[in-house]
């Protein structure tokens, strides 16, 4: 029996240069995972009014709560004239993003360089 709530998510914040924040996420962005990082994720990105790119190469699964967190942060940043772009999306996660047409709401780059261009 696998334990309930056996999810762990990781979040690392670094500078990507050109006044852009880089956030690397890992693990499962489901209800439990989002509960663990949402406060920190929002607090890191929204108040500073600085553009950011989010590396999702370590994220294996995104549920609706994870999408809600990303959209919510993108909207908060937009109100502060800051931009958000995602990159490093795995095929399973891309499938989820495609089904909710997430790229209509948040730009998704093929790689870090592409994502930096999207927020520049």
Partner 1 sequence: MTRHFIDEAVDVSGDTLLSLLMVEGHEVGRRFRLGERPVTAGRDSHLDVVLADGEVSRLHCLVSVLDGAVVVEDLGSTNGTFVNSHRISTRAPLSVGSLLRVGEHIFRCERISTRDFERAEEQHRDIQRAASYVKSLLPRPLSDGPIRTEWMLRPSARLGGDALGYQLLHEHTFSIYLIDVSGHGVGAAMLSVSVLNVLREQALPATDVKDPVRVLSTLNTMFQMDRHDDQYFTMWYGVYDSLERTLTYGTAGHHPAYLVPPARGETRPLKASGPVVGAMPEARFQAERTPISAGSLLYLFSDGVFEVRTAERQWRLDDFVPLLAQPVSDDRSECRRLYQEVKSVSRPGPREDDFSLLVVTFP
Contact footprint for partner 1 (CB under 8 A) = 1-2, 4, 30-31, 60-61, 63-65, 67-68, 71-72, 75, 92, 95, 99-102, 104-105
CB of 28 to partner 1, least distance (A): 8
CB of 19 to partner 1, least distance (A): 25
CB of 65 to partner 1, least distance (A): 5
Cα 31 to Cα 21: distance, rounded to the nearest angstrom: 25
Contact 25, 59 (CB under 8 A): yes
Contact 36, 43 (CB under 8 A): no
Nearer to partner 1, 4 or 17 (CB): 4
Helix (H) or strand (E) holding 11: strand 9-17
């Amino acid at each position: 029996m696998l334990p309930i709530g056996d999810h762990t998510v990781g979040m690392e914040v670094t500078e990507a240069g050109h006044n852009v924040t880089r956030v690397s996420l890992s693990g499962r962005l489901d209800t439990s995972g989002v509960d663990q990082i949402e406060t920190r994720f929002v607090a890191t990105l929204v108040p500073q009014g600085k553009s950011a790119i989010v590396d999702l190469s370590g994220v294996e699964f995104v549920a609706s709560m994870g999408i809600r967190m990303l959209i919510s942060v993108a909207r908060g940043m937009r109100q502060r004239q800051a931009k958000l772009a995602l990159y490093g999306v795995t095929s399973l996660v891309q499938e989820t993003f495609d089904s909710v047409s997430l790229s209509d709401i948040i730009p998704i780059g093929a790689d870090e360089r592409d994502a930096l261009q999207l927020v520049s």
